Amino acid sequence: MKKVLLLSLGLVMGFSAFAQNRVVKAEKAAKATAVKKAVGNDISTEVSVLDYSSQARQSVVSNRWANFEESETMWTYYDLQSNFQVSNRMYQLNDGSVAVAATMSHEDNQTVSDRGTGYNFSAYGEMNFAGMPEVREEANATGADVRTGWPTIAPYGATGEILVNHGHADGLCYYTREVAGEGTWDGPHAIPNPQGLDGQQYAFSLSWPRVATSGANNEIVHVFSAAQYNVSADEIVNAMFYSRFDGETWSTQWAPLFDTEEHMGTYSADDYSVAANGDVVAVVYSTVFHGHVVMYKSTDNGLTWERNIVWENPFYGCDWETDECSLTGENPVYSPVHNTVAVGPDGVVHVAVSSFPYVHTELGNTFSYYYGRTAEGIAYWNDTREEPIATFQLWVDDPENEGYVLHSGDSINFCGWIPFYENIMDFNNDMVYHGDDYIYAMYTTGSSFPALSVDTEGNLALAYSTPDTYRTYNGQYYYRSVAMSYKAANEEGWHVAVETVMDDFIHTMDEAIFVNAAPKASTANEFWFSYIADATPGLFWGSAPTQTSATANTVYAFKISSDKLSIEEPVANDVVYNIFPNPATDFVNISSSMEADATITFTNLAGQTVKVVNQRLTAGDTSININDLTSGVYFCTVNANGFNHTTKVVVK
């Protein structure tokens, strides 16, 4: 097993400069029509772990670590799981049982006439998924088998579950059953489309649902969705809706965004995720370019909502085509991308948002976007904080230090970034796949698809998709892996994962995206996640010649204990918050929030200790002489107040 180096702070300048692409801004459409860039030879027939022609496929269970288990749950050729982030496709019951859903098709073409809900179930917290499903769940229902997509699931009632998707002749449909994982689904039933809402001008048909349930027995159902209406060939109207079921009747209204007139034209399909715990329900909306990241919270099962701004867009309300206020200048703006939400047992709402840097320097619909180590990071926020996220930027441009430096080493406001692999000095921006493929073109340039889970004690775990510098596709592009972070309920900062969950020969040629979580874990310090993986970067969706041959995708589920996630010392965010300059020559400054006795250790890339300094840190900056170090790369570890804080330092 390869070793992945934990660093609590430092990325270094020099190997992490921006790469830039100029593209035409495209509104997110109802369905993808963009195509995938050719990235090399088709190797899909060479890498299948399972025999996908077999009629007796079984889930393969892996128990690689003492506190980690993984299982295959289903497979699909259809890999466009979402227009944007994917959420609400897993849940965990109080007895530990877990359900996983995904859009599934076993046709190796884009007709996908068999498209529907792939589903699997593992009982009582064990890794005991059934064999991978051969047909969609809609075939196991009391009503007619209908073609669907975008499934979303939640517990329902004391022992049951609810499945919602779009595929009904005119909008959303739902299915229920009294015992989760057992028996025939009752459905499909239609969720009513909006009728007679104030100011409604168009015949909206609901799509792209997210479901959560609240109340003592999960009896209240909350479905957030979007709808599009083609006014003309040149104009599409996007609108956001909220449907609530109280056990007897459905009520469909505008989304809570209605009060600020953001329910139309600001957000679009799959821009939202929802979570619930007890009587508390929370929904988060985020969108590139146009709007704020907002979280609406209800403490009365969706009857009333309170608005919270998670991140405030500095160019909010600007028209790219006509308003000079939309011009960003030459410096990138770190805009939101994917979001995820979880509600703790104490009612606190936790949000994580991945970032997307772009510049818009002239009027019109063109912009430049960036990718690489300086252009990424997953920000964290919760509703006990009085202020919104100040920035998504992990780095700041610091000319005095001759390049980019880490923005505060901030494990309080950031919960994820590209892991510090041992070969990170060889990181190559050009090997981050950023083709013109739908989803990949802009939205997976760095760490992305975050998924949050909170346990019964308020501990948090985060899984996300991120480039893996150890694994490459044909030597051209980094595959994406699933990395982990962890935050204990009694700690302010996050632990960065010491290993990716894909560190196994089975995943040697796997590209992992569309990470999802069971947002409410029923066991302390044990969390469940899923992701979808295949052998080729990009999606099988479009009309380019390279997309004539599909690759089978596997949906994996895994559970992981915090014992696996937090084996390293926590980040010393209460003492040390920066080490600069970087690169350095004769000295480094250690910025501290308080006075503390510290041991400062410098090690080289071979792991050899080359310098140890015992120093009393002052509140502010303390200077450490390093003129006895030769030019090179070192790890500077500060041990103070019971914490370890490590930064990679370049000495010139």
Question: Residue 569's CB: how many other CB atoms inside 10 A?
Answer: 16
pLDDT of amino acid 212? 98
* CA–CA gap between residue 439 and residue 139 (Å, rounded): 30
pLDDT of amino acid 56? 38
* Mean pLDDT on 97-104: 98
Res 169 pLDDT > 70: no
Q: Give the pair of three-digit tokens for residue 124.
A: 């009582």
Report helix, strand or coil for 631: coil
Strands (E), 344-473: 349-359, 366-371, 378-382, 395-398, 403-406, 414-416, 448-454, 460-473
Residue type, 450: P
- CATH code of the domain occupying 19-50+60-565: 2.130.10
* CA–CA gap between residue 601 and residue 598 (Å, rounded): 10
| Cα–Cα nearest to 266, from 243, 242, 308, 237 | 237
First to last CA, the chain: 33
* CA–CA gap between residue 593 and residue 576 (Å, rounded): 6
Question: Counting beta carbons within 10 angstroms of the beta carbon of residue 595, is it exposed (0 to 12), middle (13 to 18) or buried (19 or more)?
Answer: middle
* CA–CA gap between residue 151 and residue 156 (Å, rounded): 15
pLDDT of amino acid 599? 93
pLDDT of amino acid 392? 75
What stretches of 349-399 show up as alpha helix (H) in DSSP? none
Q: Are 270 and 443 in contact (CB under 8 A)?
A: no
* Mean pLDDT on 521-532: 96
**Per-domain residue ranges of the chain:** 19-50+60-565, 576-651
* Mean pLDDT on 41-51: 25
Residue at token pair 């035409």: 24
- 360 φ/ψ angles, rounded to the nearest 5 degrees: -130, 100
Which pLDDT tens digit goes with each residue over 211-232? Answer: 999 999 999 999 999 998 888 8
Strands (E), 544-642: 553-561, 576-580, 587-592, 596-604, 609-617, 620-625, 632-640
Which pLDDT tens digit goes with each residue over 431-481? Answer: 888 776 666 655 666 889 999 999 999 999 999 999 888 899 989 999 999
Confidence of residue 395 (pLDDT cuts 50, 70, 90): low
What percent of the chain has a predicted confidence (pLDDT) above 70? 81
pLDDT of amino acid 170? 82
pLDDT of amino acid 162? 98
DSSP codes joined into one string, 180-244: TTSS-BEEEEEPPPP-S-TT--S----EEEEEEEESTTS-EEEEEEEEEEEEETTEEEEEEEEEE
- pTM strictly above 0.85: no
Residue at token pair 């009391």: 142
CA distances from 60 to 49, 287, 445, 513, 629 (A): 10, 37, 30, 20, 51
Res 132 pLDDT > 70: yes
Cα dihedral value 583, 329, 339, 228, nearest 10: -160
Q: Give the pair of three-digit tokens for residue 524.
A: 């302390």
Report helix, strand or coil for 56: coil
Q: Are 173 and 185 in contact (CB under 8 A)?
A: no
Confidence of residue 397 (pLDDT cuts 50, 70, 90): low
CA distances from 506 to 50, 354, 593 (A): 11, 28, 45
Q: Are 502 and 482 in contact (CB under 8 A)?
A: yes
Question: Residue 113's CB: how many other CB atoms inside 10 A?
Answer: 8
For residues 234-273, b (16+ Cβ closer than 10 Å) or e, as one string?
Answer: eeeebbbbbbbbeeeeeebebbbbbeeebbbebbbbbbbb
Q: Are 453 and 34 in contact (CB under 8 A)?
A: no
- CATH code of the domain occupying 576-651: 2.60.40.2550
Residue at token pair 């609901």: 206
Which pLDDT tens digit goes with each residue over 49-91? Answer: 223 333 334 556 666 556 889 999 999 999 889 988 899 999 9
pLDDT of amino acid 42? 23
* CA–CA gap between residue 540 and residue 551 (Å, rounded): 8
- pLDDT, averaged across the chain: 82
Fold match flag (19-50+60-565 vs 576-651):
no
What percent of the chain has a predicted confidence (pLDDT) above 90? 51
